[in-house]
Chains A and B, each alone.
Chain A
């Protein structure tokens, strides 16, 4: 095979095929399997019940994130679900010989933040987890995607997954991002422009100078929202930025293995004549800071745009969806979104809870006070992020400004741990989904970047980060 024609996805997929099952399905080896507290206990129990063993416990890692409380001084009993699930995860991991980072471990955190921090996520690996935001790990040039419970059971028992090779989509961001425009704005813009179905059935590769100039943390944000574009796989070809990040991580290759690995990784980027089924070009300089107005990530507009009018919708199905979304979110057609009062701000989640996200938010927080009408939370993505942020004094900046500084976990992104946004409260959130009920029953979510969220906390209304003085 001429590797000039091969994409990053091809170069990882093809050598991972253990056997061809016919009809397009293949049995793929899984190099890294991550478990969390919501799905892990059930799957480990299912394996036990069937009298099976975890086939390769050394390739499996577990950490609680979904069900943990993020309140200061929390423990596993702080939430009912944690009390029910965490002891099972801990004991089954011990029996099976799976490396487990407990709730008080210095490496605990959101599974998609912790994997890269520990060097579990490196270029060229196949990585799966029972969580749809596993696409985050593709930022390293890994082949990573979310799987369902039965598939998790299958991976535990066989270290393989049955999959069909997806189509290939490339999204190329050309030019430079304007001031105030982050990786979050770039991906929300694409979803807003091309819709939440653009990538269905495809693995998406993000490319172009505006992507190459992103840091690893920004790349993770970009890939994290691939699933909201319809692609369960999102990737970026590895480069020096990638290698620099993964070097000297606890579970990454060292010594002669590093040299061997690096040589292999350098062969992975999509070739100059790589063939994609579909190509999309994005002019990055045209992107404004983005915010969602509705109940799908495709309901995204620029901060200075007006809320869409269902009468202007392209078809009747879309018009109906827009009407339902406006009804739920409590906004009127054609009103400017800027200036809409809010009650909540959530800075966290596997999308935007890493050190640079918190630094961006803190840079805004240091300039003011959280509005009296707003409750604002900062939930670091991991214990490591929390430690590093505290060593820089970010926690003091947040606390002084009136933000709550909390413990690591998924928290209000998915509200598994009962940390809800109250009914009808409006929340600017750095998370990834503005679905109906996602942050709690009747909660109204507006997705945005960390700086936009922090600025909204201070002004008490949805605001344009470029207008900060």
Chain B
């Protein structure tokens, strides 16, 4: 996975509450074949006029389509962003659109975990701070997200601190893969199973004595 240390970029505010994973990646686009990448259909109901990416008319009211946010790599989002299904295509298409960081007041629990797997840093801040960041983003200013220092630096050098779990931070900073890390602990897994097998033999479908 690509390492992530700092992101210096404008930020696009998408502030609708409860944007679910079916909106981020509509199921009919995931399951039908298209020459276009799935990220073309990301946020289809909001991003395209009449919610129709086939007609291809961009909705000028949707921030993602506005010139001042073009090339943004940071997204600021509304409450409960990414609620709904476990589909990892949701953070995958957001990464596909070039984003590496999403800042919001709350996220769908499964989506939040999936972000790390797609090399996206989800930052949770209180609603007031998110709204301040939104106002700053709307000026078209660049923000600097520094994962090492866990800081968001404003153009006027004002700083917002954020907290990210140490393990997740390390994985993003070093571009590490969970499977590789866990496989180094395989002996611990075997030991755990050996012990557990004696306590709960039915778990392993062993024949009863």
Contacts and interface: CB of A to CB of B under 8 A. Distances in A.
B202 A260 contact: yes
In the complex, which range does the number of interface residues on chain B fall in?
35 or more
B189 A148 contact: no
A257 B28 contact: no
Contact of A257 (B182, B193, B201): B201
Contact of A147 (B78, B110, B185, B205): B110
Contacts of B16: 317, 320-321, 324
A215 B79 CA distance: 35
Contact of B51 (A158, A296, A442): A442
Contacts of B188: 18-19, 27
A67 B30 CA distance: 12
Interface string A129-166: 01110100000000001111111011001111010101
A59 B196 CA distance: 14
Contact of A150 (B52, B88, B107, B185): B88
Contacts of B202: 122, 252-253, 257-258, 260-261
A253 B208 contact: yes
Interface in A249-305: 251-258, 260-261, 264, 296, 298
A243 interface: no
B26 interface: yes
Contacts of B183: 157-158
A414 B27 contact: yes
Contact of B117 (A131, A151, A258, A321): A151
A344 interface: no
Contact of B192 (A18, A67, A232, A441): A18
Contacts of A264: 199-200
B22 A146 contact: no
Given A29-B192, A433-B84, A436-B45, A150 B109 contact: no
Contacts of A145: 110
Given A158-B183, A324-B16, A441-B51, A130 B28 contact: no
Contacts of A122: 202
Interface in B3-62: 15-18, 20, 22-23, 26-28, 30-31, 44-45, 51-52
B23 to A, nearest CB: 6
Contact of B182 (A160, A230, A435): A160
A200 B80 contact: yes
A27 B182 contact: yes
B186 interface: yes
B113 interface: yes
Interface in B166-204: 166-168, 178-179, 182-183, 185-186, 188-189, 192-193, 196, 199-204
Contacts of B209: 255-256
B205 A58 contact: yes
Contact of A418 (B18, B31, B109, B114): B31
A437 interface: yes
A24 interface: yes
Contacts of B193: 29, 159
A318 B84 contact: no
A260 B206 CA distance: 13
A253 B109 CA distance: 32
B22 A437 contact: yes
Contact of B203 (A21, A125, A164, A230): A125
Identify which of A52, A433, A440 gathers the most chain B CB atoms within 10 Å of its CB. Answer: A433
Given A19-B185, A29-B196, A437-B27, A132 B86 contact: yes
B165 A159 contact: no
B87 A23 contact: no
Contacts of B185: 18-19, 27
B110 A146 contact: yes
Contact of A29 (B26, B84, B189): B189
B108 interface: yes
B148 interface: no
Contact of A158 (B28, B107, B189): B189
A321 B209 CA distance: 59
A420 B28 contact: yes
Contacts of B44: 437
A419 B26 CA distance: 14
Given A158-B186, A433-B84, A435-B23, A416 B208 contact: no
Contacts of B27: 414-416, 437-438
16 contacts: A27-B188, A29-B196, A146-B86, A147-B110, A149-B88, A149-B114, A150-B117, A151-B114, A153-B179, A157-B179, A158-B179, A162-B167, A196-B80, A255-B208, A318-B17, A435-B84
Closest 10 CB pairs of A and B: A23-B166, A253-B202, A150-B117, A255-B208, A148-B114, A148-B88, A146-B86, A149-B88, A257-B202, A257-B208
Given A147-B86, A252-B202, A257-B208, 18 more contacts: A22-B166, A25-B167, A25-B168, A27-B188, A59-B203, A125-B203, A131-B86, A132-B110, A134-B86, A147-B113, A149-B87, A158-B183, A230-B109, A298-B18, A321-B16, A416-B27, A437-B22, A437-B51
